[in-house]
Chain A
Amino acid sequence: NAGVMQNPRHLVRRRGQEARLRCSPMKGHSHVYWYRQLPEEGLKFMVYLQKENIIDESGMPKERFSAEFPKEGPSILRIQQVVRGDSAAYFCASSPLGPGNRGPLHFGNGTRLTVT
């Protein structure tokens, strides 16, 4: 059973370009979470999605950032017009259950975004 798959592992973008980060959850998992980790810092929650629905986006910046989890295909985190401050590691996690879930989240290896 493959784990959470994220691609690309590394992404370099110039200021002003768009970044698309993909996440395929573990098989059977329909709940996806995106976290951001700045260098030498902890993980900050960004957004929680179920298939075709955004459940909690309280950690998403108001502008330039969006996320989706379509009925078919991976979850996408999209950053428009990237700036240097967007440089970070972005982690996706998945779980098979929603609210009340007693289990851990399962994390991918992350996408490291560098904005030049």
Chain B
Amino acid sequence: AQSVAQPEDQVNVAEGNPLTVKCTYSVSGNPYLFWYVQYPNRGLQFLLKYITGDNLVKGSYGFEAEFNKSQTSFHLKKPSALVSDSALYFCAVRDPGAAGNKLTFGGGTRVLVKP
């Protein structure tokens, strides 16, 4: 079975400081990994994905994430956070070798960027 853990319920950071949102995963094979962001009363917006290749992937709005196979992690990062980055962030995993095609999500991390 596939699973995702986001160990922090909330992350507070000052505007202009680097932002990191942690994610670890568990799958039986090689994972497909995704990050989404959710603003209030909205659906999830796709930020970036890792499928294969370079461990550092770049996505929308200046976000990037680093895949670390040995630590089974896929942490989301942004070098300089903006107040508008305040939102709920979800990490998700798909096991391409498993039956079906669903994404399994972590519990989410609320990011609060203070001016």
Contacts and interface: CB of A to CB of B under 8 A. Distances in A.
Interface stretch (B14-22, B69-77, B105-113): B105-113
Contacts, number: 69
A12 interface: no
Interface in A64-100: 91, 93, 95, 97-100
Contacts of A108: 43
Contacts of A25: none
Give chain A's interface residue range (CB within 8 Å of chain B): 20 to 34
A99 B106 CA distance: 21
A8 B65 CA distance: 35
Contacts of A21: none
B109 to A, nearest CB: 10
Given A91-B44, A102-B51, A106-B46, A42 B106 contact: yes
B96 A56 contact: no
Contacts of B107: 41-42
B43 A56 contact: no
Contacts of B103: 33, 45, 93, 105
A99 B49 contact: no
Interface of B: 6, 32, 34, 36, 41-46, 49, 51, 90, 94, 96, 99-108
